Every structure is written in structure tokens, then in C-alpha cells.
Amino acid sequence: MAEPKQESIEKIVKFVKGFAEKSGTSMHPNPAVTEAVVKGLAMHIDELGKPLCPCNFYKDKEAEAKLRRWMCACDEMQIYKYCHCLLFVREDGMPITEYLPEGHEGRQVYGVVTDPTPEKGRMLRHKAASSSTSAEDPSPGPTT
Ligand code: SF4
């Protein structure tokens, strides 16, 4: 399998550190989780020129890359502070789910996981009621 360019990895690592600090989230306690997601994002920078979320399946990556919603940090992160890739999590490795709409798969899988730093992150929280990446959105799905 191809490896991402070193400069792409460095770009993503820098972004991830900065965004975690800004959003009040942490890296996963298992470094292999973070490394895998960083590598996936770097691969998308090489392939598409943009850090498209690596944890979804896309029918058309090029078309998706033109949209904002699954560009890291994606709308779900900016609105609900939820990262289904587990790149931005709490110190215990759990993804924050408390702001997700009831019925969202994150709530179903993890239950209610509270945010230890509610004063940080969620720059697009005002979009919570009309998000295009709600649980009803069928387009992207888990990568297999
Ligand atoms: S779920 Fe969102 S915040 Fe998490 S890695 Fe994917 S794009 Fe980034």
C-alpha cells in the first residue's frame, strides 16, 4: 500500500495538535489509532489536495472533497465535537457524544459521553439543528 508524503504527514500532525488544543480534546491514548487516522488524512491530501475524513466510504471522493462537511475538522466535529475516527477524543479515549442528536449512531454506540471542556470547540454549534451530517444523512458510511 502506498505511503503518504512526509510533508503531508507533518502538515496533518501540526493541524491535529493545534486543533486538539483549540477544541479542548486529546489524542487517543493508543498512539496507533492517531497514527492510522493521520496517515489516512495525509493520503487524502496527496490524492485530493484536501484532508477528507478517512473513516467514511465515498461514492465520489473528488465530488465530496469539493464540499466542506467531511473536511477535517468536519462539520460533526465543529458542530457536535464528535469525531467518529477517534482522532479528537477525551483523555480516556472516548469520543464526546453529549451534543449529538438522539438517535445518532455515536449516541447509540457510546451512550452519552460528556465534554470535559465545554468552553472550547464547537465553532459551528449554531448549526446544530440543521446539520447536513445528521444521522439521517446516508451518504458517507464506515470504511470497511
Ligand atoms: S471524524 Fe471529523 S474530526 Fe474526526 S478525523 Fe474525521 S474529519 Fe477529522
pLDDT digits (tens, 9 = 90+) for 13-24: 999 999 999 999
If you average pLDDT over every residue of the chain, what do you get? 91
Q: Is residue 63 within 8 Å of 112, Cβ to Cβ?
A: no
pLDDT at 56 over 80: yes
> What is the structure's pLDDT at 129?
67
Give me the domains of the chain, ranges plus CATH numbers: 6-127 (3.90.460.10)
Which phi and psi (to 5°) does residue 96 adopt?
-75, 125
- pLDDT score recorded for residue 2: 83
> HSE on the CB side for 113, CA within 13 Å?
23
Other C-beta atoms within 10 Å of 137: how many?
13
Q: Check if 37 has its Cβ closer than 6 Å to any atom of ligand 1.
A: yes
Q: Could you tell me the distance, in angstroms and rounded to a whole number, from the CA of residue 81 to the centre of ligand 1?
A: 10
Mean pLDDT of 84-88: 98
The structure's pTM equals 0.89
CB 77 within 8 A of CB 63: no
- Rounded to whole angstroms, the Cα distance separating 86 from 94 reads 8
Instruction: Tell me if 79 CB under 6 Å of ligand 1.
Output: no
